Structure 1
Amino acid sequence: MVIDGKLQLRVLSCSLHRSSKTFWTTTGMFPQELIIGFPKCVKISKVAIQCYLVRTLRIERSTSKDPVGFEQCIEKDLQHTEGQLQMEEFPLPEFQATYLRFVIKSAFDHFVSVHRVMAEGTAENT
């Protein structure tokens, strides 16, 4: 979707479904990884995530054609309020990425869920 000359990238919405009742869940051991790939290199200015019971989250990026050679962008301990989704936004300096890797390093419980991941940015002219 193009908005005011910018391409807004909706990367993952409820585990590739439009329903708010679907989500991606961990298998119970940590760390857990979720990798999202773009069709080509993009310039990302903001990443947002909606999840439940995530304690420590690290976001990494790769500009390779394959999902390898990741470098850390941000790592944060998230706040948790019982019974509520965690909604975190990460304004990032505009950087290029072909892949984003979300590493859930620890959790408030044995399992966590990721309900939505969104990235906002512009397509590179490559």
Structure 2
Amino acid sequence: MFDRRNLTSNGVGSPIYKFEGHRAAVLCVQWSPDESSVFGSSAEDGLLNIWDYDKVGKKVERPSKSPSTPAGLFFQHAGHRDKVVDFHWNASDPWTVVSVSDDCDSTGGGGTLQVSSVNF
């Protein structure tokens, strides 16, 4: 995550925070339209992660989370079998996300669309 105000004239700068919750290349990142500190990321590892930037660096008591859970990660959808190429927030239900993957068994391409309700 970068602060655009701190970039040099050629667009170079140091990140203010590095979110590390994927094991492969990230393909899509989107901010939540309803929560200014929340964003999602999808990747070639088949995961859809939902993050809360406000939780980074703060101690949050959540016994269900593993100690190895990356800071700021509060939801992970792992239902796809291949890379998650895109996702979108539901305009009518702020905590529902639809994701699309290339996990079709057909050689003709395509994949699956899954709807996730973010639980936190």
* TM-score, length of structure 1 as denominator length: 0.31
TM-score (norm 2): 0.32
Larger Rg: 2
Question: More strand per residue: 1 or 2?
Answer: 1
Structure with a larger share of its residues in helix:
2
